[in-house]
Amino acid sequence: MSTEKEPIPAASNFIRAIIEKDLADNKYAGKHWAGSPGGAAHQSTGQVDFAKIRTRFPPEPNGYLHIGHAKSIFLNFGLARDYDGVCHLRFDDTNPEKESQEYVDSISDMVHWLGFGWDNTTPDGKPESNLYFASNYFDFMYLAAEALIQHGHAYVDEQSAEDMRINRGTLTEPGKDSPFRNRSAEENLRVFREMRDGKHADGSMVLRAKIDMASPNINMRDPAIYRIRRAHHHNTGDDWCIYPMYTFAHPIEDALEQITHSICTLEFEDQRPFYDWLMARLVEAGLLSNPVPYQYEFARLNLTYVVLSKRKLIQLVEEKHVSGWDDPRLPTLAGARRRGYTPEGFKLFTDRIGVSKADSWIEYSILEDCMRDVLNESAPRKIGVLDPIKLMIDNYPEGQDEDCYAPNHPQKPELGKRVVKLSKELWIEREDFMEEPSKGYFRLFPGNMVRLRYGYVVKCIGCEKDAAGNVTTVHCEYLPDTKSGTPGADSVKVKGNIHWVSAAHAYTAEIRLYDRLFKDPHPGSGDKDFLDDINPGSVKVITAQLEQSAQQANPGDSYQFERHGYFVADRKDSVSGKPVFNRTVTLRDAWQKA
Ligand code: ATP
Ligand code: MG
């Protein structure tokens, strides 16, 4: 069934080259990263002597992980694994309103599922957990903000949000200094402490870095670094009514965790000057010491036929266009797992697409191909009839059955064979019979012979129809000397070969035929609402006839149903002895022509 494919060369990953050079230059060996006040990172040793690289995956716990995150996970955890370094799982939980424990749990679960963990060992052999929460650094962040104020690098701005926006300027015009920009350090400190102590209303003022209102990079025009927000935090409760802005918090998190390569997506490229500015100021202030982390940007994953925006994913779930966060049609990792996508398939995918600095769109079919390639290797074969009609072997004795032997994996004889029962009454696919065959049709039609795969050659002798003219039963006669695996098997040559399941031995199962959730490669492109691009045929629930052994499938077991594709026993709706199957992917890409 599988078609020969051009081998795809290993895609390039420019970050590997950087790391290899850093390691060759011994950039980290012998350097002692100072333990930092408030930085919980390496309390056990106080300082870390690293020849190692340290990366991090920093999700905000405000949604479920999706396929784009898988790229980042394989990149960060994968580099650490390949170069004998360490990758941190860090929850970037500085934005309390949208964050919750539910998201923390599901994110942890999915990183594990992809094959990565955060329990490591220090160079001197001690166990070390590399699970972090940015909110554990709030004390340090606050101190860092005060230090900036004391060194004249930050001020409290009381302009209205509207004035601040106007005075920020545009891409072509410089900004204007705030009237509050030249307050004394003492005054700034006093007001900032009042902000912390809850003396001012939400949104009435912010702390801003004092850099350059005329910078060509708008991110350097005195970015806000602290805001007042009376919000309950999932970790720090009501301890704080001011919260650091992401752009301020993130570099500090990296520094406290002694990250060597801080890898993020391209939209942060314009933030890098601020990242470096902040590191330099905090080193000057004595709060951090060199070497400090450095940020590298790579192109985020954009996949055709998929939306990866958190806002849109939330909308799909909340408006019930899908059944939940783990709906098998969603690009969430929870959905992909239920769909039968595998961690190995995601690894292959991320290897194939590589890591570059140029934004591009990746065809969804590449992801599907990776899943096919992995499942083709790993998935045992089963027989399933998805659109069943009866086939009667008129000359087969009533009440008799016999064993036929089907290989569990055609390319892996070592996996052996299993018994499939043959009897007088079988299920076959509706499309494997045509009363009036079209040209080139080699399957069942009156007078023609085909092989029942792993069984006998049969000759079609006619059919029965219902009142509406639909075929209900096909009749045939078998040639007793032609059983597969016997000397007579090749005595009759036939062009067609069809699969079947014995009706008396079949397992009648619910199967969900999933397809792409969107029918447009760029959902919502132009002026369209992305919801209008939902594929109305993205799921079809059918009743199929499967070979008996499929009934023993455990939730999460994947199979190839011969001639149809890869299917997985659903991990949510299957009950013991009654698995329900989800189609993971068809054997071939049906969208190419469309
Ligand atoms: P937002 O920040 O808008 O809430 P996000 O998708 O960036 O959404 P984060 O939780 O911040 O979500 O993402 C965690 C990490 O995953 C970040 O380092 C981010 O760069 C990376 N990431 C997110 N989306 C993609 C993507 N499509 N391709 C590659 N990496 C991604
Ligand atoms: Mg983000």
Q: What is the pLDDT of residue 43?
A: 38
- Say if residue 57 is in the same domain as residue 123: yes
- Say if residue 412 is in the same domain as residue 493: yes
CA of 69 to the centre of ligand 1 (A): 6
Residue 549 lies in a domain: yes
Q: What is the pLDDT of residues 479-517, one digit of tens each?
A: 999 999 999 898 999 999 999 999 999 999 999 999 999
Pocket of ligand 1 (CB under 6 A): 58-60, 62, 68-69, 71-72, 264-265, 300-301, 308, 310
| Whole-Å CA distances, 131 to 59, 114, 119 | 12, 16, 8
Q: What is the pLDDT of residues 532-555, one digit of tens each?
A: 999 999 999 999 999 999 999 999
Q: What does 336-357 look like in DSSP terms, one character per residue?
A: HHHHT--HHHHHHHHHHH-B-S
Residue 6 lies in a domain: no
- Say if residue 128 is in the same domain as residue 155: no
Read off φ and ψ for residue 559, nearest 5 degrees.
-140, 155
**Cα(524)–Cα(283) distance, integer angstroms:** 46
Residue 321 lies in a domain: no
**Cα(367)–Cα(57) distance, integer angstroms:** 22
CB half-sphere exposure, 57, CA atoms < 13 A = 27
Q: What is the pLDDT of residues 1-22, one digit of tens each?
A: 344 444 444 567 899 999 999 8
Q: What number does the ligand 1 atom closest to the CA of 60 have?
A: 10
- Say if residue 412 is in the same domain as residue 548: no
Domain boundary among the residues 224, 241, 258 is at 241
**Residue 394 structural domain:** 386-499
The structure tokens listed for 582 are 């989800």
CA of 267 to the centre of ligand 1 (A): 10
Name the pLDDT band for 52 (thresholds 50, 70, 90). Answer: confident
Domain boundary among the residues 466, 482, 499 is at 499
Binding-site residue numbers are 60-62, 66-72, 92, 246, 265, 300-301, 308-310
Residue 208 lies in a domain: yes
- Say if residue 411 is in the same domain as residue 541: no
Q: What is the pLDDT of residue 31?
A: 54
Q: Range with the lowest mean pLDDT among 91-105, 412-426, 501-515?
A: 91-105
**509: enclosing H helix or E strand:** strand 507-514
Residue with the smallest CA separation from ligand 1 atom 16 is 69
For residue 291, whether the previous peptide bond is cis, meaning omega lies within 30 degrees of 0, is: yes
Q: What is the pLDDT of residues 199-233, one digit of tens each?
A: 999 999 999 999 999 999 999 999 999 999 999 99
Residue 9 lies in a domain: no
What is the number of residues in the chain?
A: 594
Binding-site residue numbers for L-glutamine are 92, 246
- Say if residue 34 is in the same domain as residue 129: yes
Name the pLDDT band for 100 (thresholds 50, 70, 90). Answer: confident
CATH at 366: 2.40.240.10
- Say if residue 359 is in the same domain as residue 397: no
Q: Are 19 and 79 in contact (CB under 8 A)?
A: yes
Mutational pocket test of ligand 1: of 72, 76, 303, 311, the residue with most ligand atoms within 8 Å of the beta carbon? 72
- pLDDT exceeds 50 at position 45: no
Residue 540 lies in a domain: yes
Cα 364 to chain centroid, rounded = 13
CATH at 155: 3.90.800.10
Domain total of the chain: 4
Read off φ and ψ for residue 149, nearest 5 degrees.
-60, -50
Q: Which residue blocks in 11-66 are alpha helix, DSSP H? A: 14-24
Residue 317 lies in a domain: no
Angle between helix axes 364-378 and 343-353 (nearest 10 degrees) is 130
**Cα(238)–Cα(256) distance, integer angstroms:** 24
CA of 461 to the centre of ligand 2 (A): 65
- Say if residue 480 is in the same domain as residue 439: yes
The structure tokens listed for 277 are 């500015």
Mutational pocket test of ligand 1: of 13, 55, 69, 91, the residue with most ligand atoms within 8 Å of the beta carbon? 69
- Say if residue 491 is in the same domain as residue 422: yes
Mutational pocket test of ligand 1: of 265, 275, 304, 312, the residue with most ligand atoms within 8 Å of the beta carbon? 265
What is the C-alpha radius of gyration for the chain, rounded to an integer number of angstroms?
Answer: 31
Q: Are 174 and 203 in contact (CB under 8 A)?
A: no
- Say if residue 25 is in the same domain as residue 132: yes
CA of 97 to the centre of ligand 2 (A): 15
* CA pseudo-torsion sign 95, 99, 105, 106: negative
- Say if residue 119 is in the same domain as residue 200: no
CA of 268 to the centre of ligand 2 (A): 9
Residue position matching structure tokens 């980042």: 72
Would you please indicate which residues are annotated as catalytic (active-site) residues? Answer: 60, 300, 310
Q: What does 103-144 look like in DSSP terms, one character per residue?
A: HHHHHHHHHHHTT---EEE-TTS-EEE-EEEGGGGHHHHHHH
CA of 60 to the centre of ligand 1 (A): 8
Residue with the smallest CA separation from ligand 1 atom 7 is 59
Q: Are 174 and 167 in contact (CB under 8 A)?
A: no
Q: What is the pLDDT of residue 37?
A: 36
Domain boundary among the residues 213, 241, 269 is at 241
Cα 110 to chain centroid, rounded = 8
Q: What does 305-325 look like in DSSP terms, one character per residue?
A: T----HHHHHHHHHTTSSSST
User: Which ligand gives the minimal distance to the CA of 66?
Assistant: 1
Residue 334 lies in a domain: no
- Say if residue 253 is in the same domain as residue 118: yes
Binding-site residue numbers for ATP are 60-62, 66-72, 265, 300-301, 308-310
Residue with the smallest CA separation from ligand 1 atom 22 is 69
CATH at 132: 3.40.50.620
Residue with the smallest CA separation from ligand 1 atom 9 is 59
Please name the residues in contact with 427: beta carbons below 8 A apart, sequence gap of 6 or more: 385, 388, 389, 390, 391, 500, 501, 502, 503, 506, 545
Residue with the smallest CA separation from ligand 1 atom 3 is 310
* Of 255, 257, 244, nearest in space to 287 by CA: 255
**Cα(398)–Cα(559) distance, integer angstroms:** 32
Q: What number does the ligand 1 atom closest to the CA of 66 have?
A: 24
Average pLDDT in the chain: 92
